[in-house]
Amino acid sequence: MKHQRACMEEAIKWATPIFTGMLDDECLPDNEIASIAPCLSRTMVLPKQLSVVKTPWDRCMKSFAALALAVILAPAALAQHQTFVVNPDASEVKMTLKSTHELVNGTFHVQSGSIDFDRSTPRMSGSVVVNAGSGKTGNDSRDKKMNKEILKVEQHATVSFEPRTHAGAIAPSGDSTIQVTGIFTLLGTPHEITIPMLVHLEGASATAQAHFVVPYVEWGLKNPSFLIWKADNDVAIDLKLAGTISQ
């Protein structure tokens, strides 16, 4: 209801200058409003945001058409605004780190996520939050070192991504490929990043998948290399989000 009210107010705001430009007659005093109500052939009562004005019938009809168009477009604008609510149990984050001796694969748990978007504009908002201490690579000692020395989970319990804008059209249903730009926060420090994302909408269900690279050393994290075991300075991330769409 809040979004709908805002859309309607915006529609009235948009229509007001149209009335102002099309109607040149002076507004009637408040005490005359009641007396002219039946005389639709000569006058028109506008919404509360607008005044009651004297106008010929042709101008009246043009003005009414302009307002009607604004009101009709308001629900359409509302329909463009949607919220993607992430289901953590159906979502996952995978990491892949190359080293001289092995390929380290790991998973992290998505803690929460909610993204607001509007298919008619590039703006996005919301966040996806990952539990930094949930990482599992199949090696307990390595995971403890990762949590303590690299991710420092006692000081920084989460890793997050906050989308700000997207490039590319989001189809009302089916697959869409877009570029999402936002803020990736790691060790409490924000970094701007653009992530290619495949979005699939199907009724009230939605998924989003992405593959991207995080330059973790450049962003201030420690490289886990030791002795002859050397790790890359970048880590590959595969993100899969699943959830529902609401308006």
Residue 69 has a pLDDT of 52
Residue 119 has a pLDDT of 87
213 and 100, same structural domain? Answer: yes
202 and 167, same structural domain? Answer: yes
Q: Which domain holds residue 130?
A: 87-246
Quick one: tokens of 78?
Answer: 């509302």
Distance separating the N- and C-terminal Cα atoms of the chain: 10
Closest CA to 130 of 97, 106, 100, 165: 106
Q: Are 170 and 123 in contact (CB under 8 A)?
A: no
222 and 168, same structural domain? Answer: yes
27 and 130, same structural domain? Answer: no
In angstroms, the Cα distances linking 113 to 32, 153, 160, 199, 226 are: 55, 20, 9, 15, 36
Tell me the CB-side half-sphere exposure of residue 121, using CA atoms within 13 A: 13
Residues of the chain short of pLDDT 70, as ranges, are 1-79
119 and 13, same structural domain? Answer: no
Whole-model pTM? 0.69
Domain end residue (candidates: 56, 80, 104):
80
Q: Are 149 and 222 in contact (CB under 8 A)?
A: yes
Quick one: tokens of 194?
Answer: 């653009």
100 and 42, same structural domain? Answer: no
Residue 101 has a pLDDT of 84
205 and 111, same structural domain? Answer: yes
Tell me how crowded residue 178 is: count the other CB atoms within 10 A of its CB: 20
